């Protein structure tokens, strides 16, 4: 049983009193109690912990990959990263963006799931993984999307690229426009498939950010990524993401492989309301990319938790103001504060509010007033601006004059 601070204080006081050689009570107590009772009592005091022990974060796993990240998307926290911003060939991880562009065009209404897409000779002749569409036929957009996501079809990717943009080259430019709008800083696409090409690269960090946007922007479209098998043209192919069979919490995302890229995998899992995204690039085999991804996901779910200590537009701090029509101003956060912290350490968070000691009206609603910093054991976990939750107009002329005189007096005295 854990003894609280009050019990500890009482125990220490008794220990100091009874352990003092000059204490007049010592002789009487010893005479009334047996030595064994005294020893048991003192032993009980010594066993009372003075403070609650902090829970350590387990050491991160060793991951055999050219580059990797572990990302918590709700708070936007990269829990682990290695060479996260190194530009590498993405292989079929490219198709995450191909799929994202298709989902965006569906939302815009430029295409529909029922549209029939003509299959060109170029699409039909694609190398590598294929959906096995036939040149000269027409295939529904709905089927081609499954062919891209589940079967990783290069033929399906080129067919959709040509249907949306006219040519695969024009579609690649469209992919790059979407990449810039999302904020991917180290990504450039030359094709829709991920087959080796000049100036075709991305990073582990950018892939995690792209996956986050895919999940948040198009949840119904993203649901296709957990499909384990898809059949087209009487050919059934299984999803190459082995984690879909090994871990029920995994619901995506995409595999990739070329000789230059190695074996790559973007994974996403949801457990007890917490989502994690892992990216591994340049592993040695299909098994290795699954195993290394499992290491990252297991570490993240075991070691961290997501909390929301503050909600948007709720009072966090209140302070007196000068020369205003009201005496105080309430401050809070403009947006919800979501944090990823070591599991079991939420109660150890310390907060520090930094606001000017003298605040004068007028004040606009939403005006930045200061900052809120949250730390654990001195390590910064979050820092957010504090904003005014309401506007404060200037007070009357006599109030402002009196406050001005008073502040000048304080200034002179200090």
Q: Which of 95, 212, 254, 295 is catalytic?
A: 95
pLDDT at 56: 66
The residues that bridge with 320 in the sheet, in sequence order, are 328
Specify whether 95 is catalytic.
Answer: yes
Q: What is the DSSP letter of 226?
A: G
User: Quick one: angle between helices 5-18 and 35-47, nearest 10?
Assistant: 140
The pLDDT value given to residue 405: 86
The CA-based angle 17-45-40, given to 5 degrees, is 100
What is the full DSSP assignment across 95-110? Answer: HHHHHHHHHHHHHHTS
For residues 90 and 204, what is the distance between their CA atoms, to the nearest angstrom?
A: 9
Tell me, yes or no, if 7 is annotated catalytic. no
CA–CA gap between residue 359 and residue 368 (Å, rounded): 12
Candidates 92, 157, 267, 278; catalytic one: 92
Q: What is the pLDDT, as a whole number, of residue 1?
A: 32
Structure tokens belonging to residue 53? 């022990």
Among residues 67, 75, 129, 152, which one is catalytic?
A: 152
For the chain, how long is the longest CA-to-CA vector?
106
State the Cα–Cα distance between residues 255 and 253, nearest whole angstrom: 7
Q: What angle do CA 396, 402, 407 make, to 5 degrees?
A: 120
For residue 30, what pLDDT is reported? Answer: 38
Paired tokens of 322: 């000068």
Query: What is the distance in angstroms between the CA of the first residue and the CA of the last residue of the chain?
Result: 52
The parts of the chain modelled with pLDDT lower than 50 are: 1-53
- State the pLDDT at residue 58: 83
Q: What's residue 57's pLDDT? A: 77
Q: Where are the alpha helices (DSSP H) in 183-261?
A: 204-217, 219-222, 243-246
318: alpha, beta or left? (left if phi > 0; alpha if psi -120 to 50): beta
Instruction: Find the Cα–Cα–Cα–Cα dihedral 280, 286, 291, 297, rounded to 10°.
Output: 40
**Strand 379-388 to strand 328-332: parallel, antiparallel, or no bridges (unpaired)?**
antiparallel
Helices marked H in 230-329 — which ranges?
Answer: 243-246, 286-303
Domains, the chain, ordered by start: 5-47 (no CATH), 67-303 (3.40.710.10), 311-413 (2.60.410.10)
| DSSP codes, 337-399 | EEEEEETT-GGG-EEEEEE-S--BS-B-TT-EEEEEEEEETTEEEEEEEEEESS-B-B--HHH
Residues whose CB is less than 8 angstroms from the CB of residue 77 and which lie 6 or more positions away in sequence, other chains included: 71, 339, 340
Q: What is the pLDDT of residues 76-111, one digit of tens each?
A: 999 999 999 999 999 999 999 999 999 999 999 999
Give the number of other CB atoms < 10 A from CB of residue 17: 12
315 is catalytic: no
Burial class (CB in 10 A: 0-12, 13-18, 19+), 325: middle
Q: What is the pLDDT of residues 369-400, one digit of tens each?
A: 999 999 999 999 999 999 999 999 998 898 88
Quote the pLDDT of residue 146: 98
Cβ-contact 300, 79 below 8 angstroms: yes
């Amino acid at each position: 049983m854990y003894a609280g601070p009050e019990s500890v204080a009482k125990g220490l006081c008794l220990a100091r009193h009874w352990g003092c050689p000059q204490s007049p009570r010592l002789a009487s107590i010893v005479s009334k109690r047996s030595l064994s009772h005294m020893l048991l009592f003192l032993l009980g005091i010594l066993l009372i912990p003075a403070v609650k022990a902090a829970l350590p974060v387990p050491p991160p796993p060793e991951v055999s990959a050219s580059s990797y990240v572990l990302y918590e998307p709700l708070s936007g926290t990269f829990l682990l990263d290695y060479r996260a911003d190194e530009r590498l060939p993405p292989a079929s991880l490219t198709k995450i963006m191909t799929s994202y562009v298709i989902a965006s065009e569906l939302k815009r209404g430029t295409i529909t799931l029922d549209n029939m897409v003509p299959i060109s000779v170029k699409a039909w002749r694609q190398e590598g993984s294929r959906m096995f569409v036939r040149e000269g036929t027409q295939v529904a957009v709905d089927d081609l999307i499954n062919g891209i996501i589940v079967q990783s079809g290069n033929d399906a990717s080129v067919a959709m690229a040509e249907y949306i943009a006219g040519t695969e080259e024009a579609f690649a430019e469209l992919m790059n426009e979407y990449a810039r709008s999302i904020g991917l800083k180290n990504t450039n696409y030359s094709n829709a498939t991920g087959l080796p090409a000049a100036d075709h690269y991305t990073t582990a960090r950018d892939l995690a950010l792209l996956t986050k946007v895919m999940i948040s922007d198009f949840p119904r479209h993203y649901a296709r990524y957990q499909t384990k098998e898809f059949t087209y043209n009487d050919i059934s192919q299984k999803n190459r993401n082995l984690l879909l069979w090994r871990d029920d919490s995994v619901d995506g995302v995409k595999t990739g492989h070329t000789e230059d890229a190695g074996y790559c995998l973007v994974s996403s899992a949801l457990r007890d309301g917490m989502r994690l995204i892992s990216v591994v690039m340049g592993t040695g085999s299909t098994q290795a990319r699954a195993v290394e991804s499992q290491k990252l996901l297991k570490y993240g779910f075991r070691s961290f938790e997501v909390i929301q200590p503050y909600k948007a537009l709720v009072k966090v701090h209140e302070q007196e103001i000068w020369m205003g029509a009201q005496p105080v101003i309430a401050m809070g956060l403009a947006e919800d504060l979501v944090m990823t912290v070591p599991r079991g350490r939420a109660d150890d968070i310390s907060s520090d509010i930094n606001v000017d000691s003298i605040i004068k009206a007028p004040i606009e609603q939403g005006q930045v007033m200061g900052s809120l910093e949250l730390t654990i054991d001195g390590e910064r976990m979050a820092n957010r601006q504090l904003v005014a939750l309401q506007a404060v107009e200037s007070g009357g002329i006599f109030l402002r004059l009196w406050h001005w005189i008073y502040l000048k007096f304080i200034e002179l005295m200090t």
